[in-house]
Amino acid sequence: MSDARALRAQAASHSRRGDAKAAASTLLQALSAVHLPESEYVPILDDLRSAFIGCGDLRGAITVAWYAGGNQEAVAYLVQNGAERLTASDRARSYERLGRLSEAAAEWERGGLLAQAAIAAEKAGQWPSARALWARIAERPPIATDGYQRGLLFYNVARTAKQCRDPKTAQHALGESVRLLDESADHFESIGQRERAFDCFHVLTQVAREGGAFEHTLGGYVNCVRILREDQLRYFALQYFEDAIGKAREANESSAAATLAKEASDYARSAGLSSIATYYTQEQARLWQEAAASLLKRGAPAELAENALLASLQARAELRQFGTVGQVFSQLSQLELEPERKERYARLVSRYASAGEATLIDADLPANIRKAAEVVDVWHEDIREWEQRGDPAEVCADIMLDPHWPELVRRKAMIARLHALNADPPTAANLQWRVELTKQLAQLQLYNVLAPLEAMFRNQEPAVKLAVVAAMGTLFFKRTFVILREALRADDSSLLEPVSTAIEALYFQHAFDPLTRVVREETAIRAKTAAIRAIARIDTKEAAEYLLQLLTHGDDRECGATVDALGRSRGSKFLDLARNEIATLGPRAQAAVKQIANVRGYYL
């Protein structure tokens, strides 16, 4: 008999003796067998729901009923017969589960959760109600003073006003949204939170969809690409390039599309992606010719069309398509230009008349780049996060009720929510539940769990703080560093070692920027050493260049930590760079590089 079956049998024994609380506790242990097939897992849930009802825990019972998607009758029964023992959030989620969106919106609003009410109203197609709710939230403290959140709220007002056929309100709200998001992006970049700046720019990529100026959408894409490039996420950067080119073409902005194609080609070439670079060179050649035709059609000066055709000609020449180069010169010779230039272009037509075309390999984009960049509705998600204030039960409910997540993730979220219900409100008696909750949240490995972990760190006692820090070492997001750096600056020496251990574990590629900030801005030597060790395990050219700078310009402790870290690492980028640069280094850096090479078994 499996452990889950044995626990279920033990729980049945407790139930027969009338001990529903012991049965529920035993079945909660059985739920940890998250890899069981649905045919074995659902009966455990059914038993647990009955046990929860038996001991009066209707919030636990409704949670289990939500997970079992087909168990609509159980959800309806619990709402009808135990509404007073459920929260407004529980009732609203239950109505959503039953497809009664209007009732859900009303319940969210009665509970004071206006963002959730607005989202439910949108799903129900109640656009005037949704617009009014978003506008109400924008005036509530403290959100009224938060530029980023207000920017998102005005974007929501613009979206819903457009649905209400109120263009004047939509345009005003969209203008305010763009202004606030631009200002917020500048602020986030200035304090090193580029991922938050990315969210601002991501919203701006959607502005044209709501009737805003294409220039704001283009600016959003350009900045998204910049941040992705800086984080070495090249395929995501190319995906945004491709999406931006498509949006520019839809807006009949051929010149912008061609410029983006040229930048994409240059970037792909610098990243060693030759076939993608060839594809975008072909695209820019074609788009520049489209731009020239569009300019002439609009009656623009011939010189503008000339510049576009010359750009197309340059791209064709790069591809060695010399026969096509002749055709472009022919188009140039027919423009209304000065006679001398027209004659020169005509002469060049004859020069290329017999030129051959280079045979090009048929270049195309990989499917993962051609796929449109994912549109994450941060205008909903981040406002909902603000409203939930890091409540782990609510965050886990969102995850477990989202059908886009895999079954395994939804099961783990359900278990974490049940732990959260047992841990609320915080008391000495449920301390172990809260410590265990941090582990359950970390196991989800989702960005969503950072908000509840942050709230637990800031509001609870030392044992929970230590558990949160340990959990952070397993969550590979740039935002993870927010709490770790906050912990470093807390007046609590017991946190230094666990925080440093967590930092050292976070050596994923786009952690490079926050890791360098730890080295540059923190004072604790142990934490700085941990960050240097993590950077040494990020085997990129950018990380190698930074470590070489530490050997050259860092203080003695930073230099020593770098030598030790690189001696432990297994990447090749630093030694490749050092081999090329060693002759230009000072005596200390040369000695350090040779020491690292000797430890690694290389000789320079």
For the segment 131-138, the average pLDDT, to the nearest whole number, is 93
Residue 586 and residue 55: Cα distance in Å, rounded?
73
Residue 57 and residue 47: Cα distance in Å, rounded?
13
Query: pLDDT tens, 95-121?
Result: 999 999 999 999 999 999 999 999 999
What is the DSSP secondary-structure string of 413-482? Answer: HHHHHHHHHHT-S--STTHHHHHHHHHHHHHH--GGGHHHHHHHHHHS-HHHHHHHHHHHTT---TTHHH
pLDDT value of residue 359: 52
Percent of residues in the chain assigned helix, strand, coil, to nearest 5: 75, 0, 25
Residue 51 and residue 76: Cα distance in Å, rounded?
18
Q: Of 322 and 273, which is predicted with more confidence?
A: 273
Is the Cβ–Cβ distance between 34 and 408 less than 8 Å? Answer: yes
Q: Is 438 exposed, middle or buried (0-12, 13-18, 19+ CB in 10 A)?
A: buried
When the pLDDT of each residue in the chain is averaged and rounded to a whole number, the result is 91
The domain containing residue 56 runs over which residues? 3-114
Please, what is the angle between helix 392-400 and helix 88-97, to 10°?
A: 0
Which of 114, 140, 159 lies at the terminal end of a domain, its last residue?
114
- 323, part of any domain: no
- 44, part of any domain: yes
pLDDT value of residue 1: 44
- 533, part of any domain: yes
Q: How far is CA 562 from the centre of its chain?
A: 30
Which of 114, 133, 154 lies at the terminal end of a domain, its last residue?
114
548 backbone dihedrals φ, ψ, rounded to 5°: -65, -35
Which of 114, 140, 162 lies at the terminal end of a domain, its last residue?
114
Query: pLDDT tens, 30-39?
Result: 999 999 998 8
Both tokens of residue 342? 């027209």
Residue 456 and residue 254: Cα distance in Å, rounded?
51
The region of weakest confidence among 50-59, 325-334, 368-377 is 368-377
pLDDT value of residue 143: 67
Q: Of 601 and 511, which is predicted with more confidence?
A: 511
Quickly state the pLDDT bin for 333 (edges 50, 70, 90): confident
Residue 230 and residue 217: Cα distance in Å, rounded?
20
For the segment 547-562, the average pLDDT, to the nearest whole number, is 95
What is the DSSP secondary-structure string of 196-213? Answer: HHHHHHHHHTTGGGGT--
For the segment 256-260, the average pLDDT, to the nearest whole number, is 95
Query: pLDDT tens, 52-90?
Result: 999 999 999 999 999 876 568 888 888 888 878 899 999
Quickly state the pLDDT bin for 313 (edges 50, 70, 90): confident
- 549, part of any domain: yes
Number of domains in the chain: 2
Q: How far is CA 390 from the centre of its chain?
A: 18
Read off the CATH number of the domain in which 503 is found.
Answer: 1.25.10.10
Q: Over 60: is that where the pLDDT of 153 sits?
A: yes
Cβ neighbours of residue 602 closer than 8 Å, sequence gap 6 or more: 575
- 123, part of any domain: no
- 375, part of any domain: no
For the segment 37-49, the average pLDDT, to the nearest whole number, is 92
pLDDT value of residue 12: 93
- 248, part of any domain: no
Omega before residue 425 within 30° of 0, cis: yes
Q: Over 70: is that where the pLDDT of 558 sits?
A: yes
Read off the CATH number of the domain in which 23 is found.
Answer: 1.25.40
Radius of gyration of the chain (CA): 30
Element of type H or E holding 560: helix 556-568
Cβ neighbours of residue 179 closer than 8 Å, sequence gap 6 or more: 151
Largest CA distance in the chain: 104
pLDDT value of residue 362: 56
pLDDT value of residue 348: 83
Cβ neighbours of residue 345 closer than 8 Å, sequence gap 6 or more: 329, 330, 332, 333
pLDDT value of residue 69: 61
pLDDT value of residue 370: 77
- 314, part of any domain: no
Query: pLDDT tens, 457-493?
Result: 998 789 999 999 999 999 999 999 999 999 999 888 9
